[in-house]
Amino acid sequence: MRVLIVEDEPNLGQQLKATLEGAGYAIDLATDGEEGHFMGSTENYDAIILDLGLPEIDGLTVLDRWRKEGRTAPVLVLTARDSWSDKVAGLDAGADDYVAKPFQSEELIARLRALIRRAAGNASAELTAGDVRLDTRSGKVTLAGEPVKMTAQEYKLLSYLLHHKGKVVSRTELIEHIYDQDFDRDSNTIEVFVTRIRKKLGQEVITTIRGLGYSLEDTNA
């Protein structure tokens, strides 16, 4: 899952980036409202963490512009402001959730996971397809109850397909959502990861839709 952080405090921005990358997310970081608005308008993100007190363009204006442009990525507003009027303004501008500074990293990650799940239509923290189970809280994958070791990129790809179970996902979409902006993106690596996942979870777990991409279904259905 690919997440944009728009935060002007350098230390906090880098800390959030490192924390979320450690939790398995591909992270892009913008340090002012103008840059954040541009990135959020031109790239596809699974979620956005947005500070309100930004230079150049304030966070509320950035959020309002995204929504008017039709950008639907879930937005978690992050700010030091703690008045009810600021919270209401953020939600009215199109925010999906709100966390005030200072905050616990665990709470922010949990709220982020929930936003991404809900946006994809998943209520549970555990994503399943047949005997495959992925726990988004622990990052563990099991097959018929047995733990399966996965690399970070294999996990990201499997997680994205599970979040969009039953849909055809193109290689381009996978590349956009499992790699950050600075990563050297190569579509050929997607096929490599799919092959590795099939070896670990079974050939039938991911279906190749020729000319379109990949689909993950409930294999027991």
14-38 pLDDT per residue, tens: 999 999 999 999 999 999 999 999 9
Q: Spell out the domain ranges in the chain.
A: 2-119, 126-216
Q: Which residues of 54-87 are buried (b: 16+ CB within 10 A; e: fewer)?
A: beebebbebbebbeeeebebbbbbbbebeeeebb
| pLDDT for the residue numbered 187 | 63
CATH 3.40.50.2300 assigned to 2-119: yes
Sheet holding 213-216, edge to edge: 168-169, 213-216, 206-209
Whether this model's pTM surpasses 0.75? yes
User: Is pLDDT above 60 for 220?
Assistant: no
Which has more pLDDT, 161 or 82? 161
| pLDDT for the residue numbered 208 | 94
Residue 58 identity = D
Per-residue pLDDT band for 124 (boundaries 50, 70, 90) equals confident
Give the lowest-confidence range in 87-91, 144-148, 169-173: 87-91
Q: Could you tell me if 179 and 2 are in contact, meaning their C-beta atoms sit under 8 angstroms apart? A: yes
Percent of the chain with pLDDT over 90: 73
Per-residue pLDDT band for 221 (boundaries 50, 70, 90) equals very low
Which has more pLDDT, 117 or 184? 117
Class for the domain spanning 126-216: mainly alpha
Stretch 79-86: mean pLDDT, rounded? 73
Whole-angstrom distance, CA of residue 205 vs CA of residue 131: 9
Residue 24 identity = G
> What is the residue-averaged pLDDT of the chain?
91
Angle at 72 between CA 179 and CA 11, to 5 degrees: 55
Structure tokens at 38: 């541009």
Q: Which of 209, 113, 211, 124 is nearest to 167 (CA)?
A: 209
